[in-house]
Chains A and B, each alone.
Chain A
């Protein structure tokens, strides 16, 4: 079952600009994670934000979480060509059967033009 949904599907910006990607989800979560995937490679974990947190920073990354709106955003400041990749949000939640599962969205494809 697909939980997180990213918006926009694709984003193209100039180097040096900021990039903002959004993720919306439907049910209660335990945490929300952001991953990056370079073309033809595996996913790389960027940041994890727990449901009781509102904002986290890691280098040029800033993640916010609004559980009342069931949404999160990932901001990449001062983008570089090397940031070109697909970005996925993943929601961690317990199912009705009590099993914890991480569910990935379809991703936002970011292109940073030098």
Chain B
């Protein structure tokens, strides 16, 4: 079955630590996205990538970094510079970044501070 796999499902971060969230898709999509969701809130865009080796900052990129070395993979690193990392992180993909494209989502990673 085609889809998006996020891992781990739950992650805990210690003070001053960087953590990396994994996102893999086998939908052959060009575009991939990372969103942050806080309780009772909508999704806010952290980073997006339209193609391999290219990525752009979204609305709340500070304290986060990404890479896109393979079409299938778009890992997100939450750095120690992100002072309030506790949230639900969602990865998504679409055929491309053009209009009228639905996005397909993984089941998220819940990050908490120890």
Contacts and interface: CB of A to CB of B under 8 A. Distances in A.
Main secondary structure of the interface of A (DSSP, over half): strand
A23 to B, nearest CB: 11
B99 interface: yes
A36 B107 CA distance: 12
B99 A44 contact: no
A96 B100 CA distance: 18
Contacts of B56: 99
A106 B40 contact: yes
Nearest to B43: A104
A100 to B, nearest CB: 5
Contacts of B100: 30-31, 48, 50, 92
Interface string A86-103: 001000101000011110
A87 to B, nearest CB: 11
B108 A40 contact: yes
A1 B56 CA distance: 16
Nearest to A100: B99
